[in-house]
């Protein structure tokens, strides 16, 4: 993906006590972005640095941000999630980078649960996720769905969601590989952030996880008590998509499905087993399928 406009940056003061640098890419989705940020400010147990990447911003997002205390990066057109994430990461000032979409609402204790796990593990080689509550079923084995608390800020049933979040029980799960997700800054830097060859972003999540795997990360977990509501109000319909399935197969020589299901054990309940990249029959089948994907 190529674009003609440079990315610009606005730095704002960062609270000394900030724990996570929260990276939020946004493309003309102001009311949803406001709700996301409001939930972070209202429902977080800790103070965080909030950073936004503004794609275009002609819906009022840019003018609104000029009146706020958040750092942001800006592109005059949509540059996709990979460039946006790397731009925001350059403004981060904490040890931990947390990626979240602007169509998400964080529930109380979301960050406390994640940070408790970070403290408990005692090293930097992890990739952790919160658990999404979604209004419709999307075949995502890691999500709690379908539980409809609204599809936009207009019909959002906040009080009902918060009551539900108190009562729901979900196991921790393997396969953390998409937002909301947190990684240590040194690990992010070691793998070079998101791979821009996947722009505008399809396939970039498993690619990032594979890069983490290759430097020794084996702890990919999502936590059932760290909850966010995902409105599923995606901007992907406006994007000229890259073929992430093809790009991943060409780069890594296996399919995304194999990596998610057989290596990261996507969606399976955490039971203490060690994640392994086994070169068994499913591996060689995945290599064959990857070749077919690349050559077709």
In a domain, 68, yes or no: yes
- Domain of 148, CATH number, reads 3.90.550.10
Residue 5, helix vs strand vs coil: coil
Question: What is the bridge-based pairing of β-strands 219-230 and 173-174?
Answer: antiparallel
Please return the burial class of 85, using the count of CB atoms within 10 Å of its CB with bins 0-12, 13-18 and 19+. buried
Locate tokens 């941000």: which residue?
65
- The pLDDT > 70 percentage for the chain reads 96
In a domain, 248, yes or no: yes
**Is the model's pLDDT at 162 over the cut of 50?**
yes
- Predicted confidence band of residue 236 (pLDDT cuts 50, 70, 90): low
In a domain, 186, yes or no: yes
Q: 208 vs 85, 174, 231, 295, CA distance in Å?
A: 12, 16, 24, 23
Q: 94 vs 15, 124, 165, 177, CA distance in Å?
A: 10, 14, 28, 21
pTM of the model: 0.96
In a domain, 2, yes or no: no
**Is the model's pLDDT at 208 over the cut of 50?**
yes
pLDDT for position 1: 47
Predicted confidence (pLDDT) per residue in 35-85, tens digit: 999 999 999 999 999 999 999 999 999 999 999 999 999 999 999 999 999
Number of structural domains in the chain: 1
In a domain, 3, yes or no: no
Predicted confidence (pLDDT) per residue in 216-234, tens digit: 999 999 999 999 999 997 6
The end-to-end CA distance of the chain, in Å, is: 21
CB 32 within 8 A of CB 109: no
> How many whole angstroms separate alpha carbon 237 and alpha carbon 152?
16
In a domain, 272, yes or no: yes
pLDDT for position 138: 86
Residue whose C-alpha is closest to residue 199's, from 56, 4, 2, 36: 2
| Range 208-219 average pLDDT | 98
In a domain, 212, yes or no: yes
| Range 155-172 average pLDDT | 97
Q: Which domain holds residue 203?
A: 8-295
In a domain, 1, yes or no: no
């Amino acid at each position: 993906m190529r674009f003609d406009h440079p990315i610009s940056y606005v730095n704002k003061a960062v609270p000394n006590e900030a724990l996570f640098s929260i990276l939020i890419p946004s493309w003309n989705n102001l009311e949803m972005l406001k709700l996301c940020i409001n939930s972070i400010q209202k429902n977080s147990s800790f103070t965080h640095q909030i950073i936004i990447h503004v794609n275009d911003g002609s819906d009022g997002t840019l003018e609104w941000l000029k009146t706020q205390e958040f750092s942001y990066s800006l592109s005059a057109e949509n540059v996709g999630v990979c460039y946006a994430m790397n731009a925001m990461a350059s403004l981060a000032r904490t040890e931990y980078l947390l990626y979240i979409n602007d169509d998400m609402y964080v529930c109380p204790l979301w960050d406390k649960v994640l940070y408790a796990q970070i403290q408990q593990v005692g090293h930097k080689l992890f990739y952790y996720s919160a658990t999404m509550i979604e209004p419709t079923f999307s075949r995502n084995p890691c999500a709690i769905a379908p539980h409809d608390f609204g599809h936009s800020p207009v019909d959002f049933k906040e009080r009902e969601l918060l009551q539900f979040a108190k009562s729901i029980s979900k196991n921790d799960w393997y396969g953390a590989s998409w937002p909301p997700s947190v990684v240590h800054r040194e690990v992010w830097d070691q793998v070079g952030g998101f791979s821009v060859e996947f722009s505008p972003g399809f396939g970039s999540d498993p690619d990032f996880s594979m890069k983490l795997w290759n430097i020794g990360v084996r702890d990919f977990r999502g936590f059932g008590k760290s909850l966010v509501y995902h409105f599923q109000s995606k901007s992907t319909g406006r994007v000229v998509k890259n073929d992430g399935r093809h790009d991943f197969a060409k780069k890594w020589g296996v399919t995304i499905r194999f990596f998610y299901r057989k290596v990261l054990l996507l969606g399976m309940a955490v039971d203490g087993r060690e994640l392994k990249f086994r070169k068994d029959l499913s591996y060689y089948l995945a290599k064959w399928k990857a070749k077919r994907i690349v050559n077709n």
